[in-house]
Amino acid sequence: MTHIVEIKLKQWFDGKQNILCLTGAGISTDSGIPDYRGHKGSYHKGHKPMIHDQFINSHAMRQRYWGRSMMGWKEFAQKLPNDGHYALAELERMGKIGVAYKDSEEYYKPGDEDAELKWAFTNGSESRTMSIITQNVDGLHRKGGSDSTHITELHGRNDRLVCMTCGSFQCRHQFHDQLDDLNSAWVDRVRVEQDLQTQMQASSTSSSEENLRPDGDAYVARDSFDEIDVPSCSSCNLGNGGSMHLGQPITERSKQLGNHSFLKPDVVFFGDSVPKYQVNRCYAAVNACDGLLCIGSSLAVHSAYRFVNHAAENGIPIAILNVGETRAEVNKLDVLKIESPAGPTLSALASLYASEEK
């Protein structure tokens, strides 16, 4: 059955050749990942995210983060794409979304090539395509079939770690295997404590999904995490001949390493800034598009809202698919607002176009 919302969205799509999508946490809530600012979001429950400076400057805060991550990350990493992610991948396959823009050295981190996502500087001799700018760090657009080279993960990716000393990348799954091995006794104790807490409560509000946070960590009902042993960067350790690992207890190594050779999720924590080269790349795609579709985002944070505001200032049509008021509406931008859940609406839109292909 066709509903008015997808027809309305299709009418906005029709006649446009270069639509760019900007997605937020609202597209992933149907996958079981909580958002921050939605009407049932993490903020409304009193949850506080990790702050960049706290993580960088405090070994104790890193212990807290990794302790909580041991209780939430694997569940977070197992989340699967939903209808909204699959629909965007299908719309891209149909050529309904995607923007070509001229490549530039300004769109890449100096001296770095991200070979995994095939973002290699082309000396301006080729155009690049962008279909999705996402604020999400969950990787579900990639898992859902969207071309990874056409996605800009504005706030980074939570499945990868970066060393704050040497800059090397490491797989978070492998890191967590090591983290779990080093802290197995602590994890067992916390799980027993959480099971007891759940049994003492009449409701199910302390279920694992309820405790999960948008960052991939989880609520743990304890104040001290000083028992947590956090692995250091394997690349730095190899470069040092592994000397920190010889004949020393793990806890002693952690104390000696302190603020050196520690790993951080390759994401933009609160209080940090999106790299300038990524911002430049996104502005280039916005300038080249003939329509900007915002999906599942309140647009509350400047890192995403600036692209919407830029589109409005340059007369680029904007449509917003979201449940709840957004910053664009509060600021009286000229937008088409479609008050509807992302997944079902995008899926229905893709079905409408698929029926036309037959």
Query: What single DSSP character describes residue 50?
Result: P
| 41/264: higher pLDDT | 264
Whether 302 is catalytic: no
Provide the pairing of β-strand 156-163 with 169-171: antiparallel
Burial 155-182 (b: 16+ CB within 10 A, else e): bbbbbbbbbbbeeeebebeebbeebeeb
DSSP β-ladder status, 127-130 and 99-102: antiparallel
Mean pLDDT comparison of 47-56, 106-115, 203-212, 330-339, highest-scoring range: 330-339
Task: Please give the Cα distance from 191 to 206 (Å, whole number).
Answer: 12
What's the pTM value of the predicted model, to 2 decimals? 0.86
Distance between CA atoms of residues 82 and 150, nearest Å? 19
Task: Report d(CA 54, CA 41) in Å as an integer.
Answer: 23
pLDDT-derived band at 243 (thresholds 50, 70, 90) equals very low
CB atoms under 10 Å from CB of 300, counted, come to: 14
CA 213 to chain centre: 12
3-state secondary structure of 276: helix
Model pLDDT for residues 105-158, shown as the tens digit of each residue:
888 887 665 533 444 555 555 789 999 999 999 999 999 999 999 999 999 999
- In sequence order, what DSSP letters do the residues of 250-317 get, joined into one string? HHHHHHHHTTSS-EEEEE--BT----HHHHHHHHHHHHH-SEEEEES----SHHHHHHHHHHHHTT--
pLDDT tens readout for residues 34-48: 876 555 554 455 567
Maximum Cα–Cα distance across the chain: 69
Catalytic-role residue among 155, 176, 245, 302: 155
Amino acid at residue number 129? T
The predicted-structure confidence for 62-85, as pLDDT tens digits, reads as follows 999 999 999 888 889 999 999 999
Q: Which of 172, 166, 158, 168 is nearest to 260 (CA)?
A: 166
The angle subtended at Cα 178 by Cα 172 and Cα 180, nearest 5°, is: 100
Q: Which residues contact 239 (CB under 8 A, 6 or more apart)?
A: 166
Cβ 309 vs Cβ 333: under 8 Å: yes
